[in-house]
Amino acid sequence: MPEVQSILATDCGSTTTKAILIERRGDEYRLVVRGEAPTTVEAPFDDVTVGVLNAVREVEELSGKKLIGDEGRVITPSADGQTGADLYLSTSSAGGGLQMTVAGVVKAMSAESAQRAALGAGAIIMDVIAVDDGRRDFQKVERIRALRPDMILVSGGTDGGTINHLVELAEMLVAADPKPRLGIGLNLPVIYAGNKDAYPAVEDLLKGKVALRQVENLRPTLERENLLPAREAIHDLFLEHVMQQAPGYSKLSSWVSAGIMSTPNAVGKIMQTIAAQRNITVLGVDIGGATTDVFSVFRNPKGESIYNRTVSANLGMSYSICNVLTEARSENIRRWLPIEISEEELRNQLRNKMIRPTTIPQRLADLHIEQAVAREALRLAFEHHKSLARGLTGIQQQRTIGDAMTQEGSGKTLVDLMALYMIVGSGGVLSHSPRRAQAAMMMMDAYQPEGVTLLTVDSIFMMPQLGILSTVHPAAATQVFERDCLVYLGTCIAPVCAGRDGDVCVTVKVGSETVPVPFGSLRVIPLGYDADHNPLRVEAHIQPARGFDVGAGRGRAKDVTVTGGEVGVIIDARGRPLTLPQDDTASVTRVREWYAAMGLPV
């Protein structure tokens, strides 16, 4: 698309609407300016376009370019090159985003496939209904009736299999008579992605009562999962039903050059684009005030890239911070602190944050507490992600005599940290940490990467806008992602095993510098940028001690290309899994040592 010279993109978040202006500069696209304003989807405005125009006006003031016409709408396309933008795109999670209920026959099979389809399309899962979920039928009916989701996804049965259980699910929906969250008097959208032979009976029961749409079966056979048709249908219905009912979205829809995309779906798109273009594995996270989204692209045993997304709707840094406290427990939060603090004081701090969600840390101690909570929120969300990002359950496997004593069956997680190439962190606590080394340390502590892993963060959280741009103009999205969005922190080298404190467990040679690292410690080798501000890439020789593994096998050396950045090459010799002393004083002393190694104040 060589004719595109300027691109305006907005993301309507639950609290803030962000706008960015991208322009072609020479042979590449670059971010020019960014503006933001409060989101106005709720009272007293009840019109999302008010916030959009406010954010775009800030872009106008900073860029000197007229983007809003006299009639009060975004100008596209540019008529003379001086006014308007050639493309205007928007994403949204305002108004609660896309909220869905999924239903399946078997909870561990068809219902789990339905979860993966809905999560991959950017939805928040309100509940998972299954024939075998342990609840009585009347309880499921009451639950469906009370939820008021934006849409329901129904799945189950292989093509040609039994139809009775799917008819039961349809009868349950008839009894519940569910109503949509938005749009009084409208039928609730229901996507049917189950056994095609059962559809006529399901259609007879649901016709006229819901807005029914059939797509291809999610599990046409036990060995195959087919998520794409359901995800596309979810996206289409999101635009047709949900967006049209949200305040001001029908007006916004008439302005954009392509359909509005849900924010998590857009972030997933840019993750998939980068993974495909670089042929790498990626783990990404967006930690917000109310939810934490985790995205990943890993390879299955056949070598195919598999995209997964999960949302932990109860783990966040402001509205949901007390949920993190409840789920993680105070002792797990306190173990990351370089200061001593009582359990009572910690609880009071977090409760204050929950009732005053827009406040930011005022003291260094407040920052330590917030970043300790972030580690636990990231860890818990990652555990949730690993439980869903896995192979298919219920498939037949060929097993040899060597497998007879192993317990691993179908449904093994796809998350392989030793094979992970890059971690991308996003969200206020990571993107806006006062020092980049703090963001690196939070991700290392929460995810405990293994072997050699590149650490990065999103500079100002523009991944949603770049995600929707990647569907229209992949080259522009990739260039801005590389040059303006991605901040390289550096490379983490983490040998896997446990040892005795003080014993050298790995020796790393970077250039002319050779660094032996004792077990239980962190070391940083500075490695920054070249003259064009591209991160330096140099060859490194990693020699683990006997019993330790960095990806080549226990005790075997590995030669890799490491990438520098804001922090450099971080050698994490704290062992996997990472453990801390049980005694509070000893734990604080150990964490202080790690902070000092990373050059961080305590």
Res. 258: pLDDT tops 90: no
The CA distance from 116 to 199, in Å, is 22
- What is the reported pLDDT for 439? 97
Q: Is the pLDDT of residue 387 over 60?
A: yes
Cα–Cα distance for residue pair 103/137, rounded to 1 Å: 13
Looking at the DSSP bridge assignments, the partners of residue 296 are 283, 308
When pLDDT is averaged across residues 184-211 and rounded to a whole number, the result is 92
pLDDT tens readout for residues 59-81: 999 999 999 988 888 887 765 66
| 96-109 tens-digit pLDDT | 668 899 999 999 88
For 460-469, how does the pLDDT look when each residue is reduced to its tens digit (9 = 90+)?
888 999 999 9
pTM, two decimals, is: 0.84
**Residue predicted with more confidence, 222 or 347:** 347
Tens-digit pLDDT profile for residues 47-63? 999 999 999 999 999 99
Using the structure block, give the residue that is written with the tokens 């359909």. 259
**Averaged pLDDT for residues 213-240:** 89
Q: Is the pLDDT of residue 403 over 80?
A: no
DSSP string of 517-574?
Answer: EETTEEEEE---B-TTSPBPEEEEEEEEPTT-BSSS-TT--EEEEEE--SSEEEEEES
Query: d(Cα 99, Cα 437) in Å, to the nearest integer?
Result: 36
pLDDT of residue 400: 38
Q: Distance (Å, rounded) from C-alpha 309 to C-alpha 115? A: 10
What does the pLDDT read at residue 120? 84
Q: Tell me the mean pLDDT in the region 465-493.
A: 93
Contacting residues for 565 by C-beta, under 8 A, at least 6 apart? 436, 455, 456, 487, 488, 489, 490, 527, 528, 529, 535
Residue 205 is given by DSSP the state H
Mean pLDDT (the chain, rounded):
89
Confidence at residue 324, expressed as pLDDT on a 0 to 100 scale: 94
Given a cut of 70, whether residue 39 has pLDDT beyond it is yes
Q: SS3 for 415?
A: coil
Cα end-to-end span (Å), the chain: 51
Average of pLDDT values for 119-123?
84
Reply yes or no on whether the pLDDT at 2 is more than 70: no
- Looking at the predicted structure, is the pLDDT value of residue 416 above 70? yes
393 pLDDT band, cuts 50/70/90, is low
Quickly state the pLDDT bin for 402 (edges 50, 70, 90).
Answer: very low
Angle at CA 601, nearest 5°, toward 597 and 602? 100
Q: Is the per-residue pLDDT at 572 higher than 70? A: yes
135 alpha carbon, distance to own chain's centre: 31
More confident residue, 39 or 504: 504
Of the ranges 181-195, 221-235, 394-408, 476-490, which one carries the lowest mean pLDDT score?
394-408
pLDDT over threshold 70, residue 502: yes
Whether 533 has a pLDDT exceeding 80, the answer reads yes
d(C-alpha 345, C-alpha 518), whole Å: 35
Closest CA to 257 of 481, 394, 74: 74
Domains recognised in the chain with CATH numbers: 6-94 (3.30.420.40), 97-250 (3.40.50.2300), 266-307+412-597 (no CATH)
CA 114 – CA 108 distance, rounded (Å) = 10
